[in-house]
Amino acid sequence: VLIGVPMYSNAAGIIPVVQALLGKGAALGTTLAFMMSVTALSAPEFLILKKVMKPRLIALFAAVVATGIVVVGYVFNAVM
């Protein structure tokens, strides 16, 4: 999640990167968490949210979403 946050890509642009990671042997949950963090927690996303939300609420949003992404990654790694 921390690696994916500073990157910016759209949902379609990250798919080849995820496919390459899976091809190299990365775990499914890890690549899924990476993909979700790139699209949901990018800098442009925060700039857009800054126009309609207060900084404290943006920080709460980032914390909740990052926690959810990490949990989903661990669950997928445990199940798959």
Range of the domain at 49: 11-79
Q: For residue 65, is it within any domain?
A: yes
Residue 3 in any domain: the answer is no
What is this structure's pTM? Answer: 0.80
**Torsion angle of the four alpha carbons 79, 5, 63, 1, in this order, in degrees rounded to the nearest 10:** 20
Q: pLDDT per residue over 40-62, tens digit each?
A: 888 888 888 999 999 999 999 99
In this structure, is residue 5 part of a structural domain?
no
Residue 34 has pLDDT above 70, yes or no: yes
| Domain annotation covers residue 6 | no
* CB-count burial class (<10 Å; 0-12, 13-18, 19+) for 16: exposed
Flag whether 4 is in a domain.
no
Number of domains in the chain: 1
Structure token digits, residue 10: 């759209």
Is 23 exposed, middle or buried (CB count within 10 Å of its CB: 0-12, 13-18, 19+)? exposed
pLDDT digits (tens, 9 = 90+) for 12-21: 888 898 999 9
In this prediction, residue 6 has a pLDDT band, given cuts at 50, 70 and 90, of low
Residue with tokens 């207060």: 54
Instruction: Answer yes or no: is 74 within a domain.
Output: yes
